[in-house]
């Protein structure tokens, strides 16, 4: 009997630690050291497509988002600028955010699409049929 789940979440504890650190560190002290500016992502393979969703509220997709696909890598860059309203405290993160993920085997860079709605960026990468398994190469002995 296998007690391990079929699919395990591959999340990182780093963003959560950074959030915890920021919550207890006064602004202007050590918080820039741990300021990771990571984008929180989730990904899946659905209906022959690799789908990446990024949580990026409060940006203008036409001006503040840049998505690139090259050499088997998907890179998402975003920038959220500070609004000069000093009426109270702010827990919002501002600045540049970037995240690069390696595309799965079979991902096709051509045909990649991106859409932004309600603070969520969705990038869809088409997938080709799975390639054949590894091929064993016979080693010939020399004389």
pLDDT digits (tens, 9 = 90+) for 10-64: 444 455 555 555 556 554 444 444 444 568 899 999 999 999 999 998 889 999 9
pTM of the full structure: 0.65
- Of 110, 37, 111, 47, the closest CA to residue 76 belongs to 37
In a domain, 119, yes or no: yes
Residues 105-143 have pLDDT tens digits of 999 999 999 999 999 999 999 998 766 678 889 999 987
pLDDT of residue 31: 42
Round to whole Å and give the CA distance between 67 and 44.
18
In a domain, 58, yes or no: yes
Partners of 126 in beta bridges: 49
In a domain, 74, yes or no: yes
In a domain, 138, yes or no: no
Strand order in the sheet with 113-117: 40-46, 49-55, 120-126, 113-117
Q: How many domains does the chain have?
A: 1
In a domain, 135, yes or no: no
pLDDT of residue 22: 52
Residue 74 has pLDDT above 70, yes or no: yes
Residue 9 has pLDDT above 50, yes or no: no
Q: Which domain holds residue 44?
A: 37-84+92-126
Tokens linked to 134: 């590894």
Greatest C-alpha distance within the chain: 84
């Amino acid at each position: 009997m296998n007690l391990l789940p079929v699919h395990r979440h591959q999340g990182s504890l780093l963003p959560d630690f950074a959030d915890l650190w920021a919550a207890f560190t006064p602004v202007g002290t050590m918080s820039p050291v741990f300021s990771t500016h990571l984008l929180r992502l989730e990904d899946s393979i659905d209906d022959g497509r690799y789908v990446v969703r990024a949580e990026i509220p409060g940006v203008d997709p036409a001006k503040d988002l840049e998505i690139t696909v090259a050499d088997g890598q998907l890179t998402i860059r975003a920038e959220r600028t500070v609004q000069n309203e000093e009426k109270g405290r702010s827990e919002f993160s501002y600045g540049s955010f970037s995240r690069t993920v390696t595309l799965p085997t079979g991902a096709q860079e051509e045909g990649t699409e991106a859409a932004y709605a309600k603070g969520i960026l969705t990038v869809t990468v088409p997938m080709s049929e799975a390639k054949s398994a590894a091929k064993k190469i016979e080693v010939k002995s020399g004389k």
